[in-house]
Amino acid sequence: MEKHKEQENKGMSRRRFLSVMAGAGVVGAATTMTGCRPVSDPSGTGWLPNQYRNASAQPVQVKGRVPLDPANVSLVRNDEKCILCGQCLEACEKVQSVFGYYELPVIDEFICVHCGQCSLWCPTGAIAERSDVENVWRAIQDPETVVVVQTAPATRVGIGEEFGMGAGAWAEGQMVTALRMLGFDVVVDTNFSADLTIMEEGSELVERVTTGGVLPQMTSCCPGWVKFVEYYYPELIPNLSSARSPMMMHGSTLKTYNAQKLGVPYEKIVNVAIMPCVAKKFEASREQFAGLEGGAGKYYNDDTVKDMDYVLSVRELADMIREKLDVDFANLPEGQYDQIGSTAGLIFGNTGGVMEAAVRSAYTLITGNEPPAALLDLQPVRGLEGIKYASVPVPGVGDVKVAVVSGLANARQVCEDIKAGKADFHFLEVMACPGGCISGGGQPKTAVPPQDWVREARTATMYNHDKAGVINGSAAGAGQMTTEKGVLNLSHKNPQITEIYADFLHEPLSHLAHDLCHTHYVDRSDSLIRK
């Protein structure tokens, strides 16, 4: 330890000493008393500060921390707040099965799927999302740009908790109003692109089931899960759906189809996404979604274009609202989106929701008939259980068997079953975070560690709105959806989905749809092997 630090500690007053001890707790006290100070880099360089590289030098209470690369695009660590309590390790190893599941010493390699569960488990706020707030402010203040913002399904049952509303409170309309007050030019609903995802991913599933393609097909809308496969199970990459996530489908179509409809040059559009997930920050940075590999960049033959410019967590949006708006959030008037989605898109936020939405539309794509009522309330795939199975009878095909998983430790178990030839199902949905996006790493920290009662409240609100067929229509009035029971629960019934295919994409899995709505993946398994 540096000399001036030693002198500073020697001169610590009794009052200051007691304050530190009270604020740090048992683990923090052990850290303080042993002279432990985290490494100077704000993101850390390993799972323990340099003082504790030698296990024999560790106080018994110190449990360590997850490795976090200073260049991590999703997460940062404030070492001044870290008390080495080990909660982040618990989440990363036990819940997500990432830490400890590779052979490299953590001081040599940083393995991260960006799920952000470590930030939810951190009791001191030492781990947080890497903020894009200032970049977004600059875009909003630039008179030459048109800033388009999309909001993910689970954001509307999270944001209210930041402003004193109860767990799972529905705050969609208030959020839309706040976004317009902050200066965003266009406000769209990611439920729309979730509907688009169902059309593309569902059509891919139908093609695989009917033509003998690679099965089980695995969902690809969760970037933490996708990176987990790229690290640990690259042999299963062919099983991943090639469909982009809803956020990334929206990013490419907003800068192509919607730019043309708005009459705005694509270069002037800045895409912002409000997500319950910090892995979405990583996803937006993937090279597959920028330049000539990206959807919009490839469409315009422009290597400077990014499909998605900035991603904000729900917590970041709440910070922006508190910074700029002196309002009673809960009592804001309910604003309306400029682009709408169905409640099938809405339930993407729950574990099992993607599967249920996909089955509803896949049934129609296969049979030409509307799904029976039982498929609008597919109970076997609902709930917080980590691994769930269901069988859906489809005329002309037989039983379509599905599996739903949340939490990557559970996903590891199912992946091992697939490798061993024990997976008797056609379609697998995986969400990295327990409970799905409603408990994503960018959601409000209502309880530490996250509690099931919070997850259950958020989940129930989403399903209640799906059951009621309640959606927030377009502000412009165009494309308003009927309130006929059942119609709003189906992605393929969204008139704005019908419109984008009729006017632009032509049909699911078309050449243009492939360029804008699909992607490919990367084998990252070499990162787990010492060079």
Tell me: the pLDDT tens digits for 385-414? 999 999 999 888 889 899 999 999 999 999
Sign, CA dihedral 161-162-164-170, equals negative
Q: pLDDT tens digit string along 19-47? A: 333 333 333 333 332 223 333 333 333 44
* pLDDT average, residue stretch 416-443: 96
Per-residue pLDDT, 467: 86
DSSP assignments along 52-109, one per residue: GSSGGGS-TT--B-----TT-SSEEE-TTT---BSHHHHIIIIIT--TTSSSS-TTT-
Full-model pTM = 0.87
DSSP string, 488-511: GG-GGG-HHHHHHIIIII-STT-H
pLDDT at position 109 is: 63
Residues in a beta bridge with 150: 188, 273
User: What band does 530 get if pLDDT is binned at 50, 70 and 90?
Assistant: low
Q: All domains of the chain, ordered by start, with CATH?
A: 3-129 (no CATH), 134-517 (3.40.950.10)
Greater confidence (105 vs 326) lies with: 326
Mean of the pLDDT values across residues 184-201? Answer: 96
Give me the pLDDT at residue 47, please: 45
Among the residue ranges 72-81, 190-199, 487-496, the one predicted with the least confidence is 487-496
Tell me the pLDDT band of 65, cut-offs 50, 70 and 90. Answer: confident
Comparing 183-187, 438-442, 483-487, the range with the smallest average pLDDT is 483-487
pLDDT above 70 (res 6)? no
Spatial distance between the Cα atoms of 105 and 109, rounded to a whole number of angstroms: 7
By the 8 A CB rule, do 221 and 518 touch?
Answer: no
Among 18-32, 118-132, 423-437, 445-459, the range scoring the smallest mean pLDDT is: 18-32
User: CA 93, 95, 97 angle in degrees (round to 5)?
Assistant: 45
Beta carbons within 8 Å of 303's beta carbon, 6+ residues apart: 291, 292, 297
214 pLDDT above the threshold of 60 = yes
pLDDT of 437 higher than 70: yes
Of 242-256, 362-376, 484-498, which gets the smallest average pLDDT? 484-498
pLDDT, tens digit, 9 for 90 and up, residues 242-279: 999 999 999 999 999 999 999 999 999 999 999 999 99
- The more confidently predicted of residues 489 and 492 is 492
Distance of CA 485 to the CA centre of its chain: 30
H/E stretch holding 391 reads: strand 387-394
pLDDT at res. 397: 84
C-alpha–C-alpha distance, residues 410 and 387, integer Å: 7
Q: What is the helix (H) or strand (E) element at residue 455, kind and residue range?
A: helix 452-468
Closest CA to 431 of 352, 523, 360: 352
- At position 107, the amino acid (one-letter code) is I
Please provide the average confidence, as pLDDT, over all residues in the chain. 86
User: What's the Rg (C-alpha) of the chain?
Assistant: 23
**Cα–Cα distance measured from residue 444 to residue 159, given in angstroms and rounded to the nearest whole number:** 7
- Band of residue 225 on the pLDDT scale cut at 50, 70, 90: very high
